Amino acid sequence: MSDSRLRLTVIVGSVRDGRIGSTVATWFAGQAAQRADIEVDWHNTQFHAKPVALCPTAACREA
């Protein structure tokens, strides 16, 4: 029998200080995870290296 649950990936793309993207994504993922027919995955871009083109200084890339 195959797993017929919907696979949902929540992607947080907001990485700047003061943004609420992570808060909203956490709430949404929690709501979705309550359903037995949905499997929730999480991806937060804040924990990945930032491209030099978007963040030219070392301090920015390490934040």
In angstroms, the first-to-last Cα distance of the chain is 45
H or E element: which one contains 23?
A: helix 21-33
Under 8 Å between Cβ of 10 and 23: no
Encode 33-57: b = buried (16+ Cβ within 10 Å), e = exposed. eeeeeeebeeebeeeeeeeeeeeee
The structural domain count of the chain equals 1
pLDDT at 4 over 80: yes
Domain presence at residue 37: yes
Domain presence at residue 1: no
Domain presence at residue 57: yes
Full residue range of the structural domain in which residue 19 is found: 6-62
Segment 14-61, tens digit of pLDDT: 767 778 888 899 999 999 999 999 999 988 877 766 666 666 666 665
- Supply the pLDDT for residue 47: 72
- Supply the pLDDT for residue 49: 65
Domain presence at residue 10: yes
